[in-house]
Amino acid sequence: MLQGKKILLGVTGGIAAYKAVEVVSRLRKAGAEVRVVMTKEATEFVTELTFREISGNPVAVDMWAPIQHWNVAHIALAEWADLALVAPATANILAKAALGVADDMLTTTLLAVTAPVFFAPAMNCNMYAHPAVRENIEKLASRGAHFIAPGTGKLACGAEGPGRLAEPAEIVAALENFFAEGAQLSGVKVLVTAAGTIEPIDPVRYIGNRSSGRMGYALAEEAVARGAEVVLVSGPSALTPPKGLQSFVSVETAKEMREVVLREAETSRIVIKAAAVADYHPKTVSDHKIKKNDEELSIILEKNPDILKELGQKKREGQILVGFAAETQNLLQYAKGKIAKKNLDFIVANDVTKPGAGFNTATNIVKIISRGGEIEELPLMEKREIAKRIFDRILPEEFK
């Protein structure tokens, strides 16, 4: 998978910089070409010469050094890369990358990179747990950066916990998987729904819910990363749609979502409904703003169509239908009931009362339940990571 791939490796100033030497060696053995950019601090730990010899290429450190091979060095390097990897990634580089700081060769190059970017963090466990670092990781992940989680154990500083750079073999395997997955769903159409629908009451008011779209957008992003042709149908959301979609359709009401979803599902192999569709809409929508008075106001609600149930009734041979269940009690019982009622292959159940789970959070806690009743329980994880695990679970053998 790495044969002929051009990997740009950024090395930053941490004790784990020495492990990056082995990463380069393994990447080259796997057939990749590697060019290294070091921060000045990294050169305090490992010399430029070491990386030059092991990569077989000149190493870039200084923005102002005389140009050797590349035109405008940071731009040429950024354009050359099929993938950029920062290993080890210190708290400092994560903060700079999250902010878009460009004050040395590595940060400037990273800003110009359009290829996928991987960070392999390495730092003291308290630093890794610090809210500032967590926020920077979340911000970078939400922009599409990938993370290779650090290992847990005795750290160079003597502390024990997560923060040890992932092993070079794991880092190389993560890149191999990435390139393998990039082709996994090539030519396969995936339909994802996200965010909540809104049901108007009058020109200024509506009934809505707390769905931000984060779960659905993460799923769409993962499907794109696996090479699928992805259609994302979304209720109102403040999020920017992921890059690389085949199409993005913005809808407001359940009725609008139904129309688009039923049409797109006809040609989709995989359908994942993460949207929080309103079960009811106001029976009448006032043409003008409803004026308040001293009386109580009653709004009669009419049932919305159950889009997923309709999809279940029309399901084609080989189509994979995945629903979500947002519950506040009896999670498993209700979720299993929805599998049967809506003729699903899988349901992803989230107890939305748990801290860090459900609506408008960066993380979620889910159980992936198959039609046959097998349950995979996932602990608290970033929604992007959950999306990955959902695809790993739902894809049949032919894609693996």
For residues 215 and 254, the answer to whether their CB atoms sit within 8 Å is no
Of 320, 348, 321, the residue nearest 334 (C-alpha): 348
Question: Which of left, alpha, beta for 107 (phi over 0: left; psi -120 to 50: alpha)?
Answer: alpha
Residue 49 CB coordination number (10 Å): 10
The CA distances from residue 279 to 8, 149, 162, 195, 205, in Å, are 49, 39, 43, 14, 17
Q: What is the residue-wise DSSP string for 4-20?
A: T-EEEEEE-SSTTHHHH
Distance CA 346, CA 396 (A): 12
Distance CA 32, CA 55 (A): 10
Distance of CA 137 to the CA centre of its chain: 12
Q: What is the CA radius of gyration of the chain?
A: 24
Quote the tokens at residue 165.
């750079």
Residue 197 CB coordination number (10 Å): 29
Beta pairing, strands 280-282 & 320-327: unpaired
> Which among 67, 72, 157, 180 is annotated as catalytic?
157
Helix count and strand count (H, E) for the chain: 14, 21
Torsion angle of the four alpha carbons 114, 115, 118, 119, in this order, in degrees rounded to the nearest 10? -30
Distance CA 144, CA 147 (A): 10
Beta pairing, strands 6-11 & 83-89: parallel
Largest CA distance in the chain: 82
Q: At 391, is the secondary structure helix, strand, or coil?
A: helix
**For residues 208 and 227, which CB has a smaller minimum distance to ligand PMT in the complex?**
208
Residues engaged in binding ligand PMT (CB under 6 A) = 195, 211-216, 254, 273-277, 279, 304, 306-308, 323-326, 338, 350, 352, 358-360
Whether 125 is a known active-site residue: answer no
Quote the tokens at residue 330.
């009896």
Query: Which residues have a catalytic role annotated?
Result: 157
